[in-house]
Amino acid sequence: MNKPTYFTALKWAAQQLAGSQIDPDAPRFLLLMKHDWTLTDFLAHQRDQVPAEEWAWFQQAIQRVLDNEPPQYVVGVAPFYGRTFRVNRDVLVPESETEELVDWVLQEQPPKRQLRVLDLGTGSGVIGITLALERPSWQVELSDISATSLAVAQQNQERLGTHLPQIQGDLFEHLSGRRFDLIVTNPPYVATTARSEMDEAVKEFEPEQALYAGTDGLDFYRRLFEQLPDHLNPGGMLYGETGFDQEHLIKELAQQKLPAWQLTTKHDMADRMRMIKLCGGLEKRGD
């Protein structure tokens, strides 16, 4: 195809994806993200000719998508809570469930209180940076075990104008003696036994360290619940994302590890349990 318009480029892409399991909206997503366009912007430009260099890029991008690479990695950015974040294969692609987790925190917590907040396992930083931008009075810190993930988070801080402390370490490894009012986390929670059920794009491209947590997916939460009383202020809260099939197991785990604490589960828009809130901090482990 010579000198296509954006409209004919999308038609070509649709033909390439026909018969595959790829999201048919992926080609349009690539163009919107590449140009930082809204859908209205695209409609205004759909009859414009695609520059030759961009047409070559777009053809390669469609092939990468056909090879199961998430379009967010292909274009290098992803939308989250009304902003655009840089992403690559060192971090997870942000999902709508994580937006719902952030929304839950923002709806429940007083906007003007000066809370100390930890985004534990921050990845690209979407949770912590979003909370800091939505609640400027909160003192937010980002932590992750992965230096490469924190490098992406730092890029997003520079992109979005935040200056939040970043700590590299496993769980609370370098946070000894530190306590927070809120800890928010989207941790690894996929069972290794469920690997075969995962989408090919996730299995092939997203970082395993951020996905899997033992044979039942709860290894991270086991360690977290054991250490949590030492890192929450009295009355503090943990908000976390979980797997849709873990409601019974995570309730049992919380009852075992933190019997005096109150666990609340929350379903997502598809009515699947995907979030927890754990209230406590009134006791200190070992007392």
Q: What is the pLDDT of residue 111?
A: 86
Single pTM value for the model:
0.93
76 lies in a domain? no
Q: Which residues of 213-245 are buried (b: 16+ CB within 10 A; e: fewer)?
A: bbebbbbbbebbbeebbbbbeeebbbbbbbbee
What is the rounded CA–CA span in Å between residue 40 and residue 38?
A: 5
Q: Is 203 exposed, middle or buried (0-12, 13-18, 19+ CB in 10 A)?
A: middle
136 lies in a domain? yes
77 lies in a domain? no
Q: What is the pLDDT of residue 283?
A: 42
- Same domain for 168 and 207, yes or no, is yes
Number of folded domains in the chain?
2
- Same domain for 10 and 102, yes or no, is no
- Same domain for 142 and 251, yes or no, is yes
Q: What is the pLDDT of residue 197?
A: 85
**Domain enclosing residue 130, as ranges:** 88-279
- Same domain for 103 and 58, yes or no, is no
Q: Which residues of 55-80 are buried (b: 16+ CB within 10 A; e: fewer)?
A: bebbeebbebbeebbbbbbbbebbeb
- Same domain for 43 and 99, yes or no, is no
- Same domain for 275 and 178, yes or no, is yes
Helices within the chain (DSSP H only): 6-17, 26-35, 39-45, 52-66, 71-75, 96-108, 126-134, 147-160, 200-205, 219-227, 247-257
- Same domain for 231 and 275, yes or no, is yes
Q: What is the pLDDT of residue 2?
A: 77
Q: What is the pLDDT of residues 200-231, one digit of tens each?
A: 889 899 999 999 999 999 999 999 999 999 99
- Same domain for 63 and 93, yes or no, is no
80 lies in a domain? no
83 lies in a domain? no
Could you tell me the CATH number of the domain that includes residue 243?
3.40.50.150
- Of 19, 37, 67, which residue sits at a domain end? 67
- Same domain for 117 and 248, yes or no, is yes
234 lies in a domain? yes
Q: What is the pLDDT of residue 195?
A: 86
If the chain, 287 residues long, is cut into consecutive pieces of 10 residues, what is the mean pLDDT of each piece?
91 95 95 96 96 97 96 97 97 95 95 94 98 97 98 98 98 95 96 88 91 93 96 95 92 94 92 92 40
Phi and psi dihedrals of 143, rounded to 5? -135, 150
- Same domain for 39 and 120, yes or no, is no
- Same domain for 33 and 118, yes or no, is no
- Same domain for 170 and 238, yes or no, is yes
285 lies in a domain? no
